[in-house]
Amino acid sequence: MNACVLGLVAAVALGLASQAVWAAESSPSDKNVAVEKTSQGDLTVQPINHSAIRFAFKGKQYYLDPAGEADWDKMPKADAILLTHEHGDHLNPRVIDQIRKEGTLVYANASSVKKAGFGQAIGVGERQAILDITVEAVAAYNTSAERLKFHPKDRKDNGYVLTFGDKRVYVAGDTEGTPEMRALKDIAIAFLPINLPYTMPPQGAADAARAFKPKVLYPYHQGKSDPAEVKKLLAGEKAIEVRVLPLP
């Protein structure tokens, strides 16, 4: 085979490989996909539904709380999965089985590891290097008297701060605007829940966001609350971009 033919074959192979990478990123759905620049390359952010979020970074796939309805069989297989707590709309072993592969890492708070029967425990305040990112577990709990039964502090549910290059991404899990949340610094992207009666209302999410000032805010875990209300409440905060998405 001469050099010209070899060059053509190599070019075709490279083109197919590039197409495969693109397809893997876009085949689940183009809906809700955003690409953020970091100091170590692009970060793909895809809020999938009520609780689930997919991040792609440096060729690896990270899922937060994969549960609920989605085209899971069409999603890229997970390199790492992080679970915030044990409730079925956040911890679903059937969905995890659909997206995991040999070698997939699973991390969760201790009660979730016990309930699921698999995974590695990461506790509030702990920091862990997971593949190409750093993950810090942040306390997630209810503070209002009428909601304490849903997410009590002593169960030690997690939220997470994930560091992708120079971008810190906060996924709150099920919580209200706790002191730990309000004390966060340098958050590029935040996901805050607004699902009543289980978490906090849009007003609570807006108040918390004013305290730690994420550059981008996704209201998620929406329930019957209107994420556009968060955007309206934060209209005067020019440093915070609120992204309103319908999340089933």
Cβ-contact 246, 217 below 8 angstroms = no
Q: What is the pLDDT of residues 147-203, one digit of tens each?
A: 878 888 888 999 999 999 999 999 999 999 999 999 999 999 999 999 988 889 999
**Could you count the other beta carbons within 10 Å of the beta carbon of residue 245?**
13
How far is Cα 24 from Cα 10, in angstroms, rounded to an integer? Answer: 21
What's the number of CA atoms in the CB half-sphere (13 Å) around residue 46? Answer: 21
| Beta strands 53-57 and 41-47, pairing class | antiparallel
Q: Helices in the chain by DSSP H: which ranges?
A: 3-26, 93-99, 110-116, 179-182, 202-212, 227-233
Q: What is the pLDDT of residue 145?
A: 74
Which tokens belong to 135?
A: 């993950």
* Edge-to-edge strands, sheet with 60-64: 34-38, 41-47, 53-57, 60-64, 80-83, 105-108, 120-121
Q: What is the pLDDT of residues 42-93, one digit of tens each?
A: 999 999 999 999 999 999 999 999 999 999 999 999 999 999 998 878 999 9
Q: What is the pLDDT of residue 10?
A: 40
Q: What dihedral angle (degrees, nearest 10) is formed by the CA atoms of 190, 195, 196, 202?
A: 50
**Domains of the chain (ranges, CATH numbers):** 32-242 (3.60.15.10)
Rounded to two decimals, what is the model's pTM?
A: 0.87
